[in-house]
Structure formats: structure tokens, C-alpha cells
Structure 1
Amino acid sequence: MPKYLLTLPTLLTLLSLATPPALAAEAQKRIVPTVTLTVKQFSELEEDWLQAVRQHDTDALNRLVADNFELRTSAAPGRPTARAEWLKQAQAGAPFDSRIEQMAVHEYGQLMVVSFLWKLDVPKTSPLPQQVFVIDTWKQGDNGWQVLTRYAAPVQAGAKAVPGAEPGPPAVDKKI
């Protein structure tokens, strides 16, 4: 009989001790988000809206953007941009790629409040910000969903926390 006999439990213990702690920590940090049906639905609507602007598709914009639409920004919170001016500005600029991340959808009957981080693929020298926090209010109508109001604020690196907000990155519930 060999002098050193390793049992399976002993071998597994030794292997787990040999695994670098960084790999174990990295495995714990990976979180796979679950997309709800409403997030999927409004991700598609928001993407349709972005595509309509990029392609200057007036029919799609008329279908998605309500007649009484307004844009409100953090730079001028008391001075909304009406639909006609927004359309003129949106279609005047050069098209750019962008993506939506971190979407949340809150349902209030026929109203949906959709918030997300909008990442713009624009040069750092562009007057447009790299990231914008957006809140869109959508309403269900006879012809589908239309956006009524967009609230938008550039995301600034190093910005201070908002009063009442939890500081730092969001807490992750590790319960499964």
C-alpha cells in the first residue's frame, strides 16, 4: 500500500486551496441580469425610436412620439423642448451609434416609466456627453405605445451623490 493515499475529499480540498482567490472572487462578482418582459418590450421600443432618428424615418417617429411630446433636460429644467423643435434638432445632427444599458421599467396602468443609461458613441471632442441618464414616460394608446416626455441628464464622472441616494455601487443580493 502506498505511503501517501489521497482520498477524493482530501484531493478536492487540496485543489480548492490551490485555486487563486482572485478567480473565486471573480466568479462571485459575475451577475447575469434577468430581463423582464416589460424591459424587453421597452428596450425594443427605445431601439426603434433610436433607429427612426438615425434613419430620419418620419412615419416611425410619428408612430412612437406623441404629438404633445416634450424633452426636459437638467441644463434647463424649466424650459422644455417641444416636439417640433426636438424633431428639428434630432434630425439635424449627424447620426451616431449608441446603446442602452441598465434599464428599469415601472408600470402604472397605461403609463410606463422607463429609465436607463444611454451610452453615446461620439468623439470625446463632441459637445454631446458620452453618457446620459434618461427617464421616458410612455402611454398606451389606441395605436400602441407613444413616448410623452423624456427627462435627460448627462452623467458626469466624479459627480456627487444625489440627496437620499445610497452611496457607491448598488448592493447585490447574493441570495438565489
Structure 2
Amino acid sequence: MKKFPLLLALLLANPLSGFAQQATAPLQRTIPTVTRTVQIFSTLENELNDAVQQRNSGVIDKRLADDYELRTAAAPAQPTPRAEWIASALKQAPFASQVQQMAVHEYGNLMVVSFLWSLDVPAASQLAKNIFVVDTWKQVDGDWKLAVRYAAPADAQHKKVPGADPSGIDTKKKI
């Protein structure tokens, strides 16, 4: 019986010593693996962006749902319907862009895709250089169509969102 408290003390001390070793070990950075869904939706997002820049209405029509709408932070109660969005997008001068920091959340035949969209536009442009986008894609007849896009400028000087911790933000991170 006297050995029991000693054995218990040794068992309790062992996990604690392992914790201390882990706490003092240097942090290792890992490169995140791009998931299959991120690869798929990166391709779809870039296909749509390229189609707009190349004025390819066939691909635009294929990728947008019939009831597509754009909602922006500047006018959340005034969605831009599909036809108006297409007309406006095709009027803009072409620009290069890059999809970064993508995350994809699967909900059956719906996918919620968020990313930072960096635009290469002239300084005098009224377009934001960085836009946070949340796209909702739905599966229609075995293909993916963009149903709703939510977008807001993502400039660093903006205030934080309640509950968010911006201390770990890395704007240079790629997909």
C-alpha cells in the first residue's frame, strides 16, 4: 500500500514532464496542403475571372446560376442581379487578379467558398485592390454554378470585426 502513492506520483509527474518538453520545443511551421475542394473551386473561380477578362459570355453564362446576385458591404440591402452584374463586369477594363487564402466548406450540394481576391488595378481605379469574397456555389445538373457572391473591401486600415483576432493575419499567404 505504501508503494501506491509513490507510483501514482510518478505517473502524474511523467505526463507533466512531457508537457514541459513540448512547451519548450521550438515551433515548427508547416506548409498547408491544398485540399481537393480548394483545387476544384480555385479552378472554377479563376475560370470565371478569366472569362470576364476575356469577355467570354459562354463561360460566364455556364458558371453563373440563373438567379445569381452580388451583395456588397457598401449596399447590403441592394443586390446586383445577374444581368446587371454581367453588363457591369464586361464594361470594366480588363485587369489581372489573384485568388488567395481560399477556404471551402461543403454542405451537400452547396459549397461556401471564401477567399481574398487581389486585383492588379491602376492606383486611380475606383476598385479596391483587395476584396474579401464569400461565394455560394450550388450543384446544378452535375455542374457547379455560382449562386450568390458577398464581397467587401479588405484593406488593412479597416477596423476589426467583433470576435475576430487579426493578429495572425498574413496577407501574403497563397491559396
Shorter-chain TM range is 0.7 to 0.9
- Residue number in structure 2 paired with 1:21: none
Query: Which residue is 2:106 aligned to?
Result: 107
TM-score by length of 1: 0.78
Shift in Å at residue 125 of structure 1? 1.7
| TM-aligned CA deviation for residue 93 of structure 1 | 0.6
In the TM superposition, 1:109-148 aligns within 5 A as 109-148=108-147
1:52 — aligned with what?
51
* Correspondence 1:6-25 to 2 at 5 A: none
Partner SS for 1:63: helix
Structure 2 CA distance for aligned equivalents of residues 44 and 100 of structure 1: 10
**CA 1:80/1:106 → structure 2, altered by over 3 Å: closer, same or farther?**
same
CA displacement, residues 110-149 of structure 1 (integer Å, 9 cap, x when unaligned) = 0000000000001122110110000000001105000000
The alpha carbon displacement at 1:166 in A equals: 2.1
The separation in 1 between residues aligned to 2:83 and 2:156, in whole angstroms, is 32
TM-score (normalised: structure 2): 0.78
Point out where structure 1 has 5 or more consecutive residues left out of the alignment.
1-24, 172-176
CA distance in 2, matches of 1:144, 1:56: 21
Aligned twin of 2:86: 87
| Structure 2 partner of 1:97 | 96
**Runs of 4+ residues over 3 Å off in structure 1:** 28-31
Matched, 1:75 2:88: no
Alignment root-mean-square deviation, CA: 1.8
Residue matched to 1:163: 162
Identity %: 53
Higher relative contact order (CA 8 A, sep 6+): 2
Amino acid at match of 1:102: Q
Residue 100 of structure 1 aligns to which amino acid in structure 2?
Answer: V
Q: Using the alignment, how far apart are the partners of 1:157 and 1:48 within structure 2?
A: 28
